[in-house]
């Protein structure tokens, strides 16, 4: 018999322990943190309790049990980050469990004042965001308070909790209407964050547009400078860079200084080109070397080599004044001469020509044509000489002779 009593006591105390171990209130319903102001913080905590109690009544049909006060205080204390709620706000331990005529659930409260409770249910069971709906709900709540026989503070609070249980507890207007309190909202913070994000996006967009236009402008200027260099349109007074005093001349200035590369201005010949005597517009006498077989692709390396040479100073070396990297058009005579020099004189003749004749005669025609297109007038044959070469068996000047004369006196390409 004693054993049976002990077991009964143990099993009867288990539900009580489980109720006290965990708080039945849903604290996630109120997620905003209280402000740092002491008065506002205490008011916020107190009204948060009313909202949580209304939610519990809405979910279970009962008011929070008294044996859950300790666990609920502990849970609430953990959410306030070491802020002593009860001592700072002077809140009693019974704030979680109110006492009014021993009412513990919704049915008991409605049985106490059925008509007034029904009026509250009908007027408070919708959104209270408008002044009209809030006025109807609070009027019904005031009527309910006036009929309470025990018009204590707890009974009035229970009446407000009862009215709020029918409304949308996640709507801030419910607390504003029934408890006369506005919870700290994260709307202003979110709005401020959205404004900062929008401002950052606008600033990033303008920076991106500015960067694109700046890159386009720089690329355009670079391409313009490259094109100006390749076409030889730069000014003759343009210096290569700030570290050297070299002048980049235009091709027209070189032609004018050498009288279009006149033969009597040749003062030297070499494997890579001829050297001409010239005079600049300021009266300075210079020597100019014109290189053969140049290309635009080699301009960059040529410019670098020129700058290196210009940096060398020696008593036995003349000073380097400048350079020119102009690109000239390739003429038909240059193309024909390149074929003749490579032993492909007949490739000059177009395909499909009727009655080509003997190969020797055609090759003679090509050589005579090249001689007639010689860049220097004194080197070209007269019409009598042309007729004599074409009508007789007199041989044309040898290929080596033609090569020497063309390479020596090559004019504007």
Residue 61, Cβ neighbours under 10 Å: how many? 11
Reading the block at residue 376, the tokens are: 């220097």
Reading the block at residue 294, the tokens are: 């140049």
Reading the block at residue 79, the tokens are: 């959410």
DSSP element (H, E) containing 254: helix 251-257
d(CA 112, CA 123): 19
Taking Cα atoms as reference points, which of 229, 265, 269 lies closest to residue 249?
A: 229
Sign of CA dihedral 211, 213, 216, 217: negative
Q: At what angle do helices 114-124 and 153-164 cross, to 10 degrees?
A: 40
d(CA 208, CA 210): 5
Is 289 labelled a binding residue?
Answer: yes
d(CA 278, CA 288): 7
d(CA 261, CA 294): 17
Reading the block at residue 319, the tokens are: 């000073």
Reading the block at residue 47, the tokens are: 């009204």
Residue 323, strand partner residues: 248
List, as residue ranges, the binding site. 289
Q: Which residues are annotated as a binding site for ATP?
A: 289
């Amino acid at each position: 018999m004693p054993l049976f009593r002990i077991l009964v006591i143990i099993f009867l105390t288990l539900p009580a322990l489980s109720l006290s171990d965990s708080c039945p209130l849903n604290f996630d319903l109120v997620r905003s943190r209280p402000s740092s102001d002491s008065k506002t913080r205490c008011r916020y905590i107190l009204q948060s309790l009313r909202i949580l109690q209304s939610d519990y009544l809405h979910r279970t049909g009962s008011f929070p049990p008294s044996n859950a006060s300790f666990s609920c205080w502990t849970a609430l204390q953990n959410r306030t980050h070491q802020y002593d709620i009860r001592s700072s706000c002077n809140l009693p331990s019974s704030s979680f469990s109110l006492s009014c005529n021993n009412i513990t659930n919704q049915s008991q409260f409605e049985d106490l004042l059925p008509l007034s409770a029904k009026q509250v249910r009908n007027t408070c069971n919708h959104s209270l965001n408008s002044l009209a709906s809030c006025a109807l709900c609070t009027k019904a709540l005031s009527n309910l308070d006036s009929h309470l026989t025990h018009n204590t503070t707890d009974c009035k609070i229970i009446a407000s909790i009862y009215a709020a249980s029918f409304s949308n507890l996640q709507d801030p207007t419910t607390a504003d209407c029934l408890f006369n309190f506005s919870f700290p909202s994260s709307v202003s913070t979110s709005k401020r964050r959205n404004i900062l994000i929008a401002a950052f996006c606008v600033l990033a967009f303008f920076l991106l547009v500015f960067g694109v236009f700046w890159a386009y402008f720089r690329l355009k200027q670079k391409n313009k400078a490259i094109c100006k260099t390749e076409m030889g349109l730069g000014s003759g007074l343009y210096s290569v860079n700030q570290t050297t005093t070299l002048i980049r001349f235009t091709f027209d200035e070189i032609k004018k200084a050498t009288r279009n590369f006149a033969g009597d201005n040749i003062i030297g010949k070499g494997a890579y080109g001829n050297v001409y005597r010239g005079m600049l517009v300021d009266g300075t006498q210079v020597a100019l070397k014109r290189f053969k077989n140049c290309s635009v692709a080699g301009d960059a390396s040529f410019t670098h080599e020129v700058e290196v040479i210009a940096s060398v100073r020696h008593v036995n070396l003349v000073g380097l004044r400048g350079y020119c990297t102009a690109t000239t058009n390739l003429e038909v005579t240059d193309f024909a001469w390149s074929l003749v020099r490579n032993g492909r004189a007949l490739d000059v003749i177009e395909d499909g020509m009727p009655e080509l004749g003997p190969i020797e005669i055609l090759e003679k025609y090509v050589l005579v044509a090249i001689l007639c297109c010689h860049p220097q007038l004194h080197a070209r044959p007269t019409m009598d000489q042309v007729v004599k070469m074409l009508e007789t068996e007199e041989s044309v000047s040898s290929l080596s002779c033609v090569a020497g004369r063309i390479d020596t006196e090559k004019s504007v390409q």
